[in-house]
Structure 1
């Protein structure tokens, strides 16, 4: 996406150790090093098997709470399929020196699907379909709320029309969005991951190792998650993905999923100038959506 915003509250190594000392003193002496710093969170590797997830901005703080609420529920469902997820092992709380919730989670080995060839990803397309199907169960009333994910397409139409106006030479994106808007609204309110894309899928030995980054987890239309099969796979992989759903989703859900794929395509194309690997997701997905008689 664009340049990462400045941290509103930076946590140094000594700060992180102080948080650990308060919440998990048995972990405080483990080796600790900063391994990633994104828009919302800094990730510190803790020993060989753990990670510390620390918000950088106030807007990201609720996302940690959402993971702490949802992952103890969703994680076991995924584990039944052999797919790992970052279920917190420590739910860190705000302190007098740090204002937000934070977590200690497992550390997973594996390669992100970001940049992997679409034709190779098809080997685990059915795995992802089954994993999302495991998540897509009725959600309780207190499931985390998210104004941007899993809601009716019409709620994003204003921003989408602005983006479509920049890409008048992409009729497939226009058609996909129009068809999705015209499709019946979802009657489902199920758990959804909310951010399934190649950067949030870890692969090992041609299988899914883990689904990560559940900060946008919420309840809503499963079509939002299903859009990922356009972001990740070629036509053969998409067929394998859909075959593995065993008629779980109806045709109108797939129509909305294609519309969400068009939406995400333009997000990646318009907000990834400094991250070419993410812009490539948009470029390749636009090409897939333009294929004739494509699934």
Structure 2
């Protein structure tokens, strides 16, 4: 049983539940949904939270993706990006990925109203938002807008029998530039470990090379955008914060963890950009 906390709009849930069987049929290893005994696609509990029943998939989530599995993980992500759902009216996330770029003042107000108990943490995001907005024109016009997973990290991957066996948690699926997933994967899958966001060139190169083997080559603008897109992906999501608050869960950790990632990435940014340029020169 999975509680849908990020975005439980009925049309959004119906889209996601229809997406899972199609992905599985296309060879992307995701859990298939099952109906309740009365035929309902999902049920609501006394707290008005929505729950769905999904396949149990064996395996272990990853705090750190081993070096030898980085290329396989990248291949899985490329297969996801190549998929197109049959739904003629797909329902994306609320808010969309462009919200911080299109109306940052409104997004700041929404986040501040939800996390007013954490002014110091919110203040810490300001320089990273400025960095994102400096690259807004580049980010908005990136090519290859596809269906993206949206929340790529080791906890949403299962390994079984020494292989990457499943991709979990599709609550954040939306149409975005594919570099959103690639940038998040560079941050979350090539880091030293849980809570330690130091990246290594050999791991970054292994992931990007694995992605390139199945997907169309990354453009120079996409490579240039990776660091800024990483920062954008870590800015607070009002929908997620609202869901956490509604569930009675503290918001401090949900704000502190991405901020730690942003600070670490900012320190490494010149070095990472050198790695990316070096990798692109070999393509």
Q: TM-score, normalised by structure 1?
A: 0.61
Q: d(CA) in 1 for partners of 2:43 and 2:22?
A: 30
Question: In structure 2, do the counterparts of structure 1 residues 252 and 100 end up closer, same or farther at CA, with 3 Å as the change threshold?
Answer: same
Tell me, yes or no, if structure 1 residue 126 matches structure 2 residue 105.
no
Is the helix fraction higher in 1 or 2?
Answer: 2
Change (3 A) 1:165 1:201: same
Partner residue of 1:20? none
Q: Does residue 31 of structure 2 align to residue 75 of structure 1?
A: no
The yes-or-no answer on 1:250 pairing with 2:209 is no
Give the aligned partner of residue 232 of structure 1.
Answer: 189
| 1:166 equivalenced with 2:138 (yes/no) | no
Tell me the residue number matched to 2:117.
none
Secondary structure of the 1:166 match is: helix
User: Post-superposition shift, 1:152?
Assistant: 7.5
Aligned positions of 1:29-48 closer than 5 A: 43=1
CA distance in 1, matches of 2:72, 2:135: 28
Q: Does 1:194 align with 2:162?
A: no
Q: Is the 8 A contact 2:4 2:49 kept in 1?
A: yes
Matched residue, 2:40: 93
Paired position in structure 1 for 2:171:
215
Task: Name stretches of at least 5 consecutive residues in structure 1 with no aligned partner.
Answer: 1-42, 44-52
Q: Distance in 2 between matches of 1:139 and 1:152?
A: 24
* Alignment match, 1:185: 141
Deviates more, 1:198-207 or 1:244-253: 198-207
**Mapping 1:248-287, distance limit 5 Å:** 248-267=217-236, 276=253, 279-280=256-257, 282-284=259-261, 286-287=263-264
Match of 1:288 among 235, 255, 265: 265
Unaligned runs of 5+ in 2: 113-120, 191-198, 242-248, 277-283
SS in 2 for 1:59: coil
| RMSD of aligned alpha carbons | 4.1
**Contact in 1 for aligned 2:235/2:258 (Cα 8 Å):** no
The corresponding residue for 1:4 is none
Matched-pair contact (CA < 8 Å) for 2:149–2:174: yes
Structure 1's 201 and 156: CA in aligned 2 closer, same or farther, altered over 3 A?
A: farther
Instruction: After superposition, give the CA deviation of every residue in 1:224-251 in whole Å (9 maximum; x if it has no partner).
Output: 2222221231233221111122253223
Give the paired residue count.
Answer: 234
